[in-house]
Amino acid sequence: MPRTISVSPGQGPKYRGSSRGRKHGRASKKQREAIFRRDDYECQRCGSEYNLRVDHIKPIAKGGTNTQDNMQTLCEPCNSAKGDKTICYLDPNLDEVTA
Ligand SMILES: [Zn+2]
C-alpha cells in the first residue's frame, strides 16, 4: 500500500548544513588566536582593540587560502568596509606576505 512521504523544504536528504573542518571552512579558534597574537590584538587598519575578527586578505571566495599569511586582524567596522576586496593592511615589515 503506497504511502505519501512529505519532505519539508530544505530538509531533504541531500541538504547539508555547514560542514566543519573542511578546506574552505572558517579559521579555527586556535588559528584566530595565533593571528590576534601576531597582530598584537589590534585592528591592522585603525588600531582598534575592540570587536576584532580575523579577516581573509584575499577572500576564500576569490581563491584565498586559510593560511596565516592570508589572514589579518581587523575590527568589525574595518572588516565590513573592506568587504570582499583583497586588501592587506599588515605592516610590510612585520612579515613577508604575498597578497
Ligand atoms: Zn579597524
55 by Cβ neighbours in 10 Å (0-12 / 13-18 / 19+) ranks as buried
* Count: domains in the chain: 1
List the domain range (segments joined by +) for residue 40. 29-82
Ligand 1 geometric centre to CA of 65 (Å): 22
Which three cell numbers, joined as nine digits, stand for 74? 581587523
- Per-residue model confidence as pLDDT tens digits over 50-80: 999 999 999 999 999 999 999 999 999 999 9
State the Cα–Cα distance between residues 79 and 98, nearest whole angstrom. Answer: 19
pLDDT tier at 28 (50, 70, 90 boundaries)?
A: confident
User: Is 87 contained in some domain?
Assistant: no
Distance 76 CA to ligand 1 centre (A): 7
- C-alpha cell read off for 38: 601576531
Tell me, yes or no, whether 75 lies in a domain.
Answer: yes
Residue 65 resides in a domain: yes
Q: Judge whether 1 lies within some domain.
A: no
In this predicted structure, what is the pLDDT of residue 65? 94
Decide if pLDDT at 83 tops 50: yes
State the average pLDDT over residues 40-44: 97
Kindly give the distance from the C-alpha atom of residue 18 to the centroid of ligand 1, in angstroms, as a whole number: 28
pLDDT on residue 19: 46
